[in-house]
A and B are shown apart, each in its own frame.
Chain A
Amino acid sequence: MDLTKEQKIRLYTNLVRVRKLDETMVKALLTGKISTFFHSGEGQEAVGVGACSFLREDDYLFPSHRGHAISKTLIKGLPARIILAEHYGRITGCCDGVSGFHTCDMKLGIPGMSGTLGGHFPLAVGMGLAAQLRGKKQVVMVIEGEGTYARGTFHESMIMAATWKLPNLFIVENNQIMGNTPVKIIHPKDDFADLGFGYGVPAKVVDGQDVFAVHKEVQTAIDRARADEGPSLIECKTYRIQPHAVGLPDTLLGRPRTQEEIEVWRKRDPIKLAQKRLLKEGVLTQVDIEKIDGGAANEMEEADRLAWADPMPTDPKEILKKALYAE
């Protein structure tokens, strides 16, 4: 099914919003407003935006740590102010400021973020089982970095999801670098999607810089899942522009990363690609583009201002008293 003009504009707008929020968070880190770290997702926005822009609110989403999940959570409906407030330790954050960056909002179907990579897979299968039992055609989407797909939890979860035909989507955001290691030296094959064959799960490789291509493949998989036809595996090829975390030495295998490689990928920036296409198709004009840009910038500036002004908890110890058990 072809995208409507509105849907295309929505995808483009979401790309820009995510980029602006990423920039806001980098700035917040460098000015000390974020006290720990930020793993920028610059250049990888098309994966999350393409996959999540048209999810239902009651669908479940497990996002990867890259970009602290903003290309997924912001798109799923979590306001930027709440994301920022959580990073700033404010009580208005989605987890009362307790989580640092582990975004969670069950009303939006975002159950949280695992501190150990690969922790999401079995949890997602459990939610897939719940969705299947509930029978409301919800889907469960897991988007993880390629490095994470090496975890044994993936194997165990795929077997379960495939055997029971659960409405799960496994999306590989392959940015080609795991920490400081190029993924090609730790993975035996070119495509992670090849792993799907062993489980009898349909698997596709898609250009992760092309938001429309990502959306198309993911939508096919979502439709399959909603039709009770079981899980799918989609590998999106993208590239990590920034270091593992902002401010960390940008090294590969102990040596500085070459700028040439980064430049090649900067030329395939997902926003530029989408912009070019929509201008050519006449969906957007230069004026529209500036308007979208300005709107997103305003949204993030205001979110930042409000979040920073939000209150800190007056009595941290009260929060900790409630930390362990529901009652």
Chain B
Amino acid sequence: MLTKEQKMKLYTNLVRVRKLDEIMVKGVLSGKVCGHWSSQKGQEAVGVGATTFLRKDDYIFFCHRGHGITTVIPKGISPRAFIAEHFSKNSGACQGMGCLHVADMEYGAPGLSGSLGGDFVLAAGMGIAAKMRAKGQVVVCIQGDGTYGRGTFHEAALMAANWKLPIVWGVENNQYMVFTPTSDIFPKENMADLAFGYGMPGVVVDGQDVVAVFEAFQTAIERARAGEGPSLIECKTYRIEPHTYGMVDKRCAGLRSPEEIEPWVKKDPVNLFQERLLKEGVLTQADVDRIDREAIEEMEEAERFATESPAPDPQILKQVLYWK
């Protein structure tokens, strides 16, 4: 059971991530974001539920959608470092070199693979390290539904299951792989069914319900910390925004219909949780307004910091290749 404080924390993180998403959209429109922005609006409950209560020394891998905001922000990376990285400033998490590839090993966030599916096998390796170190660390690897089609998942899942590595595989199934509905490219309804072949637990959970996500991950994480091996959790969610911000919102060759999106807007994870907490008396409307205001202030301050930071010195390119 979650305490009142824990519920407040989950809610606050949902709001913080939503506000950061909005700041990033503004950053794209004002030309400050180097590259693109793949909004994760409406999918926040997955990452927030999975990572808010991780230990600092746990490892996380995240999918490209949202460039990791729903996981790296709850894990502890500052919005300043996140935004500055996207603005390609030297105060960014990767000194402005990575843009959407946000990484900070202090928070167990080793980065983002440029090729989708590249992270699975890396996660397996971090699982080996965590098991060897025997400090109870876990690796949480959340990837999109499309990415689970990569063979790297099969190889990593076999390795993790065979050696009982402390890994939780999360599927953030937003039902779209760019313009293609996932149902067109995967033979079964539930990707969690893949778990059976490897002999690990596989569960399906409502990805709009941050508490349900949290509970599923918590069970898997405890299992992993106890040395009982990996699990697979599929979170059913939906992509509200186009593939990347500003892109034509297609479904296959045609356009996606607003009727399809509408029911999912009603299942917004922030609103759902807010209603629940108001009803439970955990939050008052005053709390809701305060949390909203504080999150906006935090993100606006971070945006100003990033805007004012200097660009990286090109001299840096002379020392990029090797450690020494």
Contacts and interface: CB of A to CB of B under 8 A. Distances in A.
Interface of A: 150-156, 159, 162-163, 185-189, 194-201
B193 A150 contact: no
B153 interface: yes
A152 B186 contact: no
Contacts, number: 73
A189 B198 contact: yes
A154 B153 CA distance: 11
B308 interface: no
A163 B187 contact: yes
Contacts of B161: 188-189
Given A152-B150, A152-B154, A197 B198 contact: no
Contacts of B158: 150, 186-188
Contact of B187 (A152, A162, A185): A162
A151 B162 contact: no
Q: For chain B, which range describes its interface: under 10, 10 to 19, 20 to 34, or 35 or more residues? A: 20 to 34
Given A188-B158, A189-B197, A198 B153 contact: no
A197 B199 contact: no
A188 B149 contact: no
A123 to B, nearest CB: 14
Nearest to A150: B158
Contacts of B187: 159, 162-163, 199-201
A200 B186 CA distance: 10
27 contacts: A151-B154, A152-B150, A152-B152, A152-B153, A152-B154, A154-B154, A155-B150, A155-B153, A155-B154, A156-B149, A156-B150, A162-B188, A163-B187, A185-B162, A187-B158, A188-B162, A188-B199, A188-B200, A189-B161, A189-B197, A189-B199, A195-B197, A196-B197, A197-B197, A198-B195, A199-B194, A200-B193
B196 interface: yes
Contacts of A200: 187-188, 193
Contacts of B198: 188-189, 195
A202 to B, nearest CB: 12
A153 B161 CA distance: 18
Contacts of A159: 149, 185-187
A153 B188 contact: no
Contacts of A187: 158, 162
Contacts of A197: 193, 196-197
A199 B154 CA distance: 12
Nearest to B200: A188
Most buried by B among A151, A155, A185: A155
Contacts of B153: 152, 155
A199 B188 contact: yes
B106 interface: no
Most buried by A among B162, B187, B194: B187
Interface in B196-253: 196-200
Contacts of A151: 151, 154-155
Given A187-B162, A188-B162, A155 B188 contact: no
Contacts of B200: 188
Contact of A198 (B150, B185, B196): B196
A186 to B, nearest CB: 6
B144 to A, nearest CB: 15
A287 to B, nearest CB: 48
Nearest to B189: A200
